[in-house]
Amino acid sequence: MCNFQQLMLDIANVNGFTDGEMMSIFDVQTPQESVGFQFWKLHQQWYKRVSATLEPYAITHTQFVMMASIAWFQEQDTKPSQAQVGKLMNLDKMAFSKAVRQLETKGYVNRKKSKTDARAFQLSLTSKALEIVPQAMRAIESVDKDVFGALGERRQTFNKILLLLNKELAH
């Protein structure tokens, strides 16, 4: 018997299983039944495609989402604060701040003190960013269509499920 099997038998005995009865650490019979594992695998496949798509633009996925978020606010005639974009992205403050600094260094984002709140910074895209964001957006939307196109008419239902899960986990 391998060490892992012996360990599992020892744990099973401590937890009241009969002698020799094997305890499983899994809630499912096969990996195919694990929602978390399947979601992780899908994420990995999608993320690899997204990363490869963004490679020619020399930006990370986080940087792309940040610029796309700022672009969305700008299309709404809003100069977003760093906090507004961070909230939309649901990214922790340190990772967000690092990505903003990287985009500033690359010449894609302007960060200016807010005129109405001394603690806040307003973000805007530079003309350099405005050249690549629409191209990168079309490329990423193509990846999304390739990956999620298999859902067909169920794509909107899948998106509603993701919205529900994001909302529930935000609490």
Domain-embedded: residue 20: no
pLDDT in 10s for each residue of the chain, 171 residues: 666 566 556 665 655 555 555 667 778 677 777 888 999 999 999 999 999 999 999 999 999 999 999 999 999 999 899 999 999 999 888 999 999 999 999 999 999 998 888 788 899 999 999 999 999 999 999 999 999 999 999 999 999 999 999 899 887
CB 133 within 8 A of CB 71: yes
**Domain around 149:** 59-169
- Look at residue 102 and tell me if it is in a domain: yes
Which pLDDT score, from 0 to 100, does residue 16 have?
56
The whole-number pLDDT of residue 11 equals 62
In SS3 terms, 42-73 reads as HHHHHHHHHHHHHHHHCCCHHHHHHHHHHHHH
Q: What is the C-alpha to C-alpha distance for residues 81 and 68, in angstroms, rounded to an integer?
A: 14
Q: Which residues pair with 124 in a beta bridge?
A: 110
Domain total of the chain: 1
Model pTM score:
0.80
The CATH number assigned to the domain holding 87 equals: 1.10.10.10
Q: Is position 28 within any domain?
A: no
